[in-house]
Amino acid sequence: MLKNQKTNDIHIENLVEFIEQILVIKNNNKLQHIFYRGHSCEHYRLEPSLFRKNDQDDFLYKTQEHILYRELYLSEYKEFINDKYTLDKLVRMQHYSMPTRLLDLTSNPLVALYFACKSNRNKNENTGEVIVFFIDDEHIKYYDSDTASCLANLARLSNFEKESINFHKERERFNQQPSIKKLLHFIKEEKPFFEPRIDKNDLVNIICIKGIKNNIRISSQSGVFLLFGLDSYLEETGNDYIKIQRIKIHNQKKILDELDLLNINESTIFPGIESSAKYISHKN
């Protein structure tokens, strides 16, 4: 195991080194919540799929968020019939590959390690990466939190309505804006007793969400999420309440074989007959 003194990144080449490093990290950070995200190539931008841009620096999906949300909800209504909150719907949409303002994390470091290796099964020239997130307690929310409802229901406002929000108004006048009144209407659909007093700072925040495990894939991947507010941006080094440590992953194929010994593989990370068939055919 090597450590880059300039960047503070850790470099590991096998599963034992990775587990040793995770134990050190957990022992040194007992007062914060720790989550992980794995990428099979380094320098991945920490942004939700909704915020991705094309080569001309134009948003691919962000201006159409409300349309994407409604179209999928309408076309697959039965899939969402038991989802009480808009957040629940966004989580389900995320796992059907719809661009959302959610960024997947996991509480299981071995799941993150698998994702850091899985696209490089037959090649080792790339460097994978496990990103470790240290998050303060007050920024951890549950699926039914009021802040989560405020941020999630932004998906139902049009791009014009979101852009017309004036954040320079004091709280009472801020909540009298047409876009905020509409947002309050959406929130009260799922929370009838919600007080009509939105804190404008909440709408530009990033919070960590522990959602309902309404999807077998979320359960198998120990999934949690970062929920991004309006135009929220997470620096590559983190922010005031989300700290980041990067672990560079080498020898991905070897590590995948070691993870397989612990039953961390395609068939367990992506439960279902299609994944099991693919795993068995590659293994034999």
Burial code (b: 16+ CB inside 10 Å, e: under 16) for 76-108 equals eeeebeebebbbbbbbbbbbeebbbbbbbbbeb
User: pTM for this one?
Assistant: 0.88
Q: What 3-state DSSP class applies to 76?
A: coil
Residue 49: predicted pLDDT: 93
Q: Which residue has the tokens 């899985």?
A: 118
153-178 pLDDT, tens per residue?
999 999 999 999 999 999 899 999 99
Predicted confidence band of residue 95 (pLDDT cuts 50, 70, 90): confident
Find the range with the poorest average confidence among 123-132, 187-196, 234-243: 123-132
Distance of CA 129 to the CA centre of its chain: 16
Distances (CA, A) of 89 to 138, 154, 189, 211, 282: 24, 13, 14, 11, 34
Distances (CA, A) of 266 to 115, 165, 218: 10, 44, 14
Residues 259 and 114 sit within 8 Å (Cβ to Cβ): yes
For residues 282 and 48, which has the higher predicted lDDT (pLDDT)? 48
